[in-house]
Amino acid sequence: MEYKHKKIILIDLDGVLNTYKGNFDKDFIPEIKAGAKEFLENLNKTYEIKLFTTRNRLLAVKWLIKNKLDKLVTDVTNVKEPAFLYIDDRSITFDGNYQELQNKIDNFTVWYKK
């Protein structure tokens, strides 16, 4: 039997999987964002999913369990591990052009402030 390794995707918690809008509270993780569970269920068919967050790991794991996502996520980390993709609400894709990158940086706005 041939074993096929799934590519890893690191997904940020705040602003991607939950309803975070910039009001950080270290002791509270906002509610799950509509459609997030279905999104992860679909991704899980093809990819290994790891949660990437700077939040307290135990708090993040409890949030995953509460929202019945714990079977879809293989790990919670704050380390940028080797991965196929990184999904984050505060990121910019570098396309090889530094001037364009500078423009993207200077004009960056998170999705929930647009």
Q: Which residue has the tokens 């196929």?
A: 84
Tell me the per-residue pLDDT of 65-95, one tens digit each, with 9 for 90 and over.
999 999 999 999 999 999 999 999 999 999 9
pTM of the model: 0.89
Tell me the per-residue pLDDT of 42-73, one tens digit each, with 9 for 90 and over.
999 999 999 999 999 999 999 999 999 999 99
On average, the pLDDT of the chain sits at 95
The CA distance from 88 to 21, in Å, is 14
In DSSP notation, the chain reads: ----PPEEEEEESTTTTB---S---TT--PPBPTTHHHHHHHHHTTEEEEEE-SS-HHHHHHHHHHTT-TTT--EEESS----SEEE-SS-----S-HHHHHHHHHT---GGG-
2: confidence class by pLDDT, cuts 50, 70, 90: low
- The arithmetic mean of pLDDT across residues 16-40, rounded, is 96
